Amino acid sequence: MSQPSSPCVATSKGPRRPARSQIPGSTSRESPPASVAAEVPAPPDVPAPAQVPAPAHVAAPVVPPGAGLAPVPGGVIRQRSLGPFELENGSTLPELTIAYRHDGPAWPAPQVLVVHALTGSSDAAGDWWAPLIGPGRALDTARVGVLCANLLGGCYGTTGPTSIDPGTGDPYGARFPSVTVRDQARAQLALLDALGVGHLAAVVGGSLGGMVALEVALERPGFTATAIPIAAPAATGAMALAWNHLQLELIDRLGDGGLELARQLAMTTYRSETDFGTRFGRHLRPDGRFEVTGYLEHQGRKLLDRFDAETYRTLVRAMDSHDVGRGRGGTEAAFRSFAAAGTEVLGVGIEGDILYGPEQVREVVRIATSAGCKARYREIRSTKGHDAFLVEWDQLDVILGEALAVLS
């Protein structure tokens, strides 16, 4: 996905990391918010929130090559202040601000909440899921509203480590409190309440977004008709915890240089052996180094251009917290609330995913079914590994289209 990089956006007057020089022909796994044309009206009787300005150097949304779809017109990133927000750890953020984008009709039309992955933004419709959102697409904005919000702890307009701490007047930085996936889900629900949304037709997300999607549905049984976790488990497993530990150790010991290396390590879990072998093999660059090393270094630099080390730490630790059974009597007991409320689960696994593999998603569906919930499993066939939920547009179009066909 060719897209200029952009530094994190603070929610008020906080500093931004200066952008480094851009690398021609770069491809991005998850891009920052893009500049778009027209503002989406707020729901009736809800005051219009502030618009988040996009960095001046960010181009209009670009659909990945080969997608065969034009960018979705309209829509801007906006901010909503929600007041104090209590976290699971007992601390309270004095002010929670969330950046979001909404496309399509407002409530009471059916609404779909899309949740981004680790370093994503609220600009799903104009950027990282653009081929799936818009009139006539899987998430058809001619008939459903599509909302995507930057996660709590993020740095693209939502309160996080780059935000100003009202108590000091400086960015929170390392003082930002730890947050959980459940906190992030509750923040999304608070935004939905503020926007007057009374029910979700579906909540969908990949990776961290899939974890949050499950928690959104579980935190308020009956509020969501269908939960669609893609490449996301019921609880973060030991191998993913180990990879996350190594990434955080790199950041702790090396600062920004550690963030670059953490991203390089993460990229090896986002792709597959087949993908790396096909794309790079043992090919050498003109300087004599292997092509795959250049690719990883490039991905590390790109993240450093647009992200923040403390934000990365916050979001990775949130992923570590993920366990839908925690405090609910176990995973099966948690899914019994779905059964009682009539919430359905569509678990989507990815062939060759080594981070949150298809067996982990099948286990979500198996346990949900055992709990009496209507649950189905679908699998994306791909050589791209975990990142297939950001690449395999045709398969995602069919899966999401089928999930929402009942709304026709």
> What CATH number labels 50-236+330-407?
3.40.50.1820
pLDDT of residue 332: 98
CA distance 256 to 310: 10
pLDDT in tens, 70-87: 333 346 899 999 999 999
Question: Distance of CA 339 to CAs 64, 86, 376, Å?
Answer: 39, 29, 13
CA distance 365 to 335: 10
Tokens of 2: 């060719």
The residue assigned the tokens 């779809």 is: 69
Tokens of 162: 């780059």
User: Is residue 32 within 8 Å of 6, Cβ to Cβ?
Assistant: yes
pLDDT of residue 368: 98
Domain positions in the chain: 50-236+330-407, 239-315
CA distance 287 to 307: 28
CA distance 213 to 113: 8
pLDDT of residue 75: 67
pLDDT in tens, 4-59: 335 675 444 333 343 332 222 233 355 444 433 333 333 333 334 444 433 332 33
CA distance 296 to 406: 42
pLDDT of residue 362: 98
pLDDT in tens, 251-285: 999 999 999 999 999 999 999 999 999 999 999 99
Classify burial at 44, counting beta carbons within 10 Å of its beta carbon; exposed 0-12, middle 13-18, buried 19 or more. Answer: exposed
120: CB partners within 8 A, 6+ apart: 30, 128, 209
Tokens of 3: 């897209």
pLDDT at residue 62 greater than cutoff 80: no
Of 204, 233, 253, 272, which is closest to residue 362 (Cα–Cα)? 233
> What CATH number labels 239-315?
1.10.1740.110
Q: What is the mean pLDDT of residues 324-347?
A: 97
Residues with active-site annotation: 207, 353, 386
pLDDT in tens, 100-155: 999 999 999 999 999 999 999 999 999 999 999 999 999 999 999 999 999 999 99
